[in-house]
Structure 1
Amino acid sequence: MDIRTLVNITSRAWALPILAGLNDGVPGRQAPLLMATGASRTAFAQSIDHLISTGLLERNPGHGHPLRPEFRLTPQGKVAAELASRIQRLSGDENQDLLRRSWTVPVLATLHRPSRFTEIKLRLLTISDRALSQSLRSMEERLWIRRSVDEAARPPKPIYSTINTGAMISKVSSPVIEMGRTKLSG
């Protein structure tokens, strides 16, 4: 999986919880998934459609029996679901709203080492300055990121590094992104 795929997955608020639920054994039917995620029907439907269009989820052609799942993970979806499950377990229930924001996980995945604002922006080609700034600020408020200032640089430059839950999520997601980059370049 590369960073573009991660950005695409997280562009829908409920995509990660749906993938994590499927990985953790929630039946692939609408009602159990809705209950497990807590999403509204509209947001859930949009996230399911998005996951199907990205090729991570597919409708089960054999569906029709009440015990057969409506949705199932594709091989690529299994990799994404495993990552989503690990991230969900690390974050805790009180931080789910922060995880559902579009840029939280991609920003953390790029922060495997302390970085400046422009370095993060370069790794996430499609992020705007405002979106990155808001994402960093919200994670700093939750103590997932620490902002320090490099006084030796002229002008002084802020450096962002992960801490606490942010560091754990970064540690889990960075190798997956690095592995995907190797596969793409190889």
Structure 2
Amino acid sequence: MDMQLLVNLTSKAWSLKILAQLHAGIPGRQAPLIGSTGASRSSFAASLDHLFHLGLLERNPGHGHPLRPEFRLTDKGKAVAAMASRIEEIVPDEEAFAVLRRSWTVPILAVTGTPSRFSSIKSGLGPVTDRALSKSLGVLEEREWLRRDIDLSQRTPFPIYLAVNAGLNINQAISAGVR
């Protein structure tokens, strides 16, 4: 998957959940989607608008009231929604899925399918700050979705990170998705 799209997609907390719910057949109206995602109205609206601007959703012509429009997935959105659905199947419980709503979690898991140094993860993600990346790596390590090893083969030892357990499954779900 295009990393820039993945970073943009996950910058809003409920984007993956909304796409997964639409892929599962939940009607593209606000009330059913809010009910199935558990999001607040304001954060849900921001995520829905974000998906619309990314070109993953479009208004369903001829359906819905002007003040309560109905949305449907675009062709690009269908492929991304299938990926979001695969991720949701891997992490079905809400407490664990809350970790996926954090901005950098999914992009980090996408680039750590092979052992990676901090600097290569950062360069693969683009605009992430050292602090945000470090904090996200720590959260993923606590969840045991990411393993941190120390490479002693060089003169200066350095940590390497690798997606494991559910983190590796999420990495594979992303890799199998949009290309």
Normalising by structure 2, report the TM-score. Answer: 0.94
CA distance in structure 1 between the aligned counterparts of 2:64 and 2:76, rounded to whole angstroms: 25
Quick one: distance in 2 between partners of 1:154 and 1:7?
Answer: 34
Structure 2 match to 1:131: 132
Q: Is residue 80–residue 177 contact of structure 2 (8 Å, CA) maintained in 1?
A: no
Query: CA RMSD for the aligned pairs?
Result: 1.6
Q: Is the 8 A contact 1:112 1:174 kept in 2?
A: no
| CA positional deviation for 1:58 | 1.0
Rounded to whole Å, the distance in 1 between the matches of 2:75 and 2:82 is 11
Return the offset for 1:175: 4.0
Q: Does 1:81 align with 2:50?
A: no
For 2:44 and 2:84, the matched residues in 1 are separated by 16
Q: Write the distance in 2 (CA, Å) between the matches of 1:105 and 1:24.
A: 20
Which sits farther off after the overlay, 157-166 or 56-65?
A: 56-65
Alignment-derived partner of residue 169 in structure 2? 168
Q: CA 1:38–1:159 in structure 2 vs 1: closer, same or farther (change >3 Å)?
A: same
Identical positions, percent: 57
Question: Are 1:154 and 2:155 an aligned pair?
Answer: yes
**What's the CA shift string for 1:91-111, capped at 9, x where partnerless?**
121301101001111111111
Extract unaligned runs of 5+ from structure 1: 180-186
Q: Larger % of strand: which?
A: 2
Contact 1:7 1:102 in 2 (8 A): yes
Unaligned runs of 5+ in 2: none
Aligned residues: 176
What is the CA-CA distance between 1:127 and the residue it aligns to?
A: 1.1
Q: Give the TM-score normalised by the residue count of structure 1.
A: 0.90
Separation in structure 1 between the aligned mates of residue 120 and residue 64 of structure 2, nearest angstrom: 50
Instruction: Detail structure 1 runs of 4+ shifted over 2 Å in the superposition.
Output: 174-177
Amino acid at match of 1:45: A
